[in-house]
Amino acid sequence: MVAREHGELAELLAALEAGGKGPDAAWTVRCAQILDMDGMCVSTQADSGELLWFSDELSTRLDDLQFTLGEGPSYEAGEHGSMSLTADLRTSSARRWTAFAPGAEELGVRSVFAFPLRLGAISVGALTGYRREPRPLADESVDAALSLCDALTLHLLSTLSPPARSARSARSARPGPYENESTHNRPSGLHRAVVHQASGMLSVELGVNLATALDRLRAYAFSHNRPIVAVSRDVVARRLQLTADCSGPGPCPGPGHSESGNR
Amino acid sequence: MNPERELSLADAFVELADTLVDEFDVIDFLQQLSVRCAQLLDVSAAAVLLAPDGEPLRPVAPFDPGSALAELLDAAADAGPALDCHLGGAPPDAPGAPGDPDAPDVTRVDLLGQGPDRWGEFVPLARRAGYTWASALPMRLRGERLGCLLLLRTDPAPPSSTDVRLGQALADAATIGLVHEQTLRAHRATGAQLRGALHSRIVIEQAKGILAARLGMGVDEAFAVLRRHARSNSRRLTEVARQVIDEGLVPAA
């Protein structure tokens, strides 16, 4: 990837950071250009099937087709959490989508590339792009797409609930010679092992899925003005119990939110 | 060097070069590297921190660091010898870092001789955990920076230069193994693979939490249960973690 594209990728990533303006139609158009695709869209997990952002009409029709048929690369990416890269829909492996492959070709699409939006086992949705010509995606485009997917996932998860402000984020590492500033923006604490351990514990204790459990953690941290990492440590050490009904901002009342033994 | 250690070392090198197996899993591979280093070198702990292209450094192995080391590794990803080493090799002004002509890229730090403010939380946390020396060894191949290997000691004496060089050799073998594995598979960019490893790590952490809650135990014990189940069934750790999350598997404690 040339320097100019690196700069553009950094701009796209910056829009996804906490306080950034978030994706919109123009964002998806530039995203498709950088990824060397003819069009792309971002959709949530297949069963709720919501198309969030798209660069062009054909992307929406491709998404509609998958939603109608209940099969296709975006489904695969969302369900299995793995990339689904199809350089040519006419190859035999693409024919596993018995209805989608010919349907997409009828729309004028020859390559489809779907990337999961995920955080460990939490699946949020997929980023899907297409080409009219059958051609494999270059490694640099794959890397760029994965960077965008990580940032999109955090953006989507953080827009579900008020952002948890991590005290650690203020003290980010000093920038290295080859990194741009955005790579050191760590607003969420979501790269910490203990946060994922706490989500797992909470999901069992509250009887909710991992995404909801993470959401509860963030909501609690936000409303108590504490770093999510500190709250997670308390949960894992069983110093703190959360109840299922604590969501929005403001203090979480009720006996379930005992905070005995906090540092 | 005693003969037994020599044999174990030879085994370790063979293991780290062997990424041609059918079911190669990056995260298991890096776990193996950290375990081997801790066993073979005269160190108290060994950890791998990875940074996919343009991403921040993050601890990936070992999976079971214990709470003090886990906290230290999180801090090490933000500031400290590991980050310095990853970004550009040993800083010339690092006090207590005798230059080793054979390992010029290694950052070797006397933790007791550091000002507490030098690297944010790293030095205070390391001292609290009882560590005296930290050595950060780069994982690099032809200019590509994958991350680094962090070795920690609790002994007052600095790590021997033999150990540092052996550690670097193990790190190099692992780096070559990783890069080799990538070139063998079409459509698998470096970033994709390392990113996959980070997600696998998250899946394992999520599964640890779920098991800890289901079995009423700590996350470290839960991890032991997870690992035992994976070993006795010859399954990959990430696979078993997935089963815990998706299928509600609860292995016997």
Let me know: does A224 contact A239? Beta carbons within 8 Å.
no
Q: Quick one: closest CA in B to A144, which residue?
A: B191
Tell me which residue range forms the domain holding A235.
Answer: 169-176+184-257
Report chain B (253 residues): mean pLDDT per 10 consecutive residues: 75 70 70 88 92 82 85 91 80 46 70 80 92 90 82 90 88 80 54 78 94 95 92 88 94 88
Task: Provide the whole-model pTM.
Answer: 0.70
Q: Do A75 and A202 reside in the same domain of the chain?
A: no
Q: Which residue has the tokens 């598997």?
A: B249
Look-up: residue for tokens 């600095």?
A: B158
* Rg from Cα positions in chain B: 18
CB A120 within 8 A of CB B206: yes
Give how many domains chain A has, as a whole number: 2
Asked if A126 and A204 sit in the same domain, the reply is no
Look at residue A96 and tell me if it is in a domain: yes
Is residue A37 located within the same domain as residue A143? yes
Q: What is the DSSP string of A146-174?
A: HHHHHHHHHHHHHHSSPPPPPGGGGGPPP
**Chain B CA closest to residue A176:** B87
Contact B83, B98 (CB under 8 A): no
Judge contact between A259 and A231, C-beta under 8 A: no
How far is residue B98's CA from residue B87's CA, in Å, rounded to a whole number?
19
DSSP string of B9-39, one letter each residue: HHHHHHHHH---STT--HHHHHHHHHHHHHH
Six-digit token string for A37: 């695709």
Cβ distance of B212 and A201 shorter than 8 Å? yes
CB A218 within 8 A of CB A164: yes
User: How far does A111 lie from chain B, in Å, by closest CA?
Assistant: 14
Overall CATH class of domain B197-247: mainly alpha
CA distance A132 to chain B (A): 20
Give Cα B212 distance to the centre of its chain. Answer: 23
Nearest CA in chain A to B192: A143
Rounded to the nearest angstrom, the minimum Cα separation between B241 and chain A is: 9
DSSP string covering A43-90, please?
A: EE-TTT--EEEESSHHHHHHHHHHHHHT-SHHHHHHHH-S-EEES-TT
A207, A151: one domain: no
Q: What is the CATH number of the domain that holds A145?
A: 3.30.450.40
The average pLDDT across A212-241 equals: 91
Residues of chain B neighbouring A184 (CB-CB closer than 8 A):
56
Q: Which residues does chain A have within 8 Å of residue B205's beta carbon, measured at their own beta carbons? A: 120, 193-194, 196-197, 200
Q: What is the CATH number of domain B3-185?
A: 3.30.450.40
Beta carbons of B209 and A150 less than 8 Å apart: no
Q: State the ipTM, two decimals.
A: 0.74
Residues A108 and A194 grouped into a single domain? no
Strands B45-50 and B58-61: antiparallel
pLDDT tens track for A127-153:
999 999 999 999 889 989 998 998 999
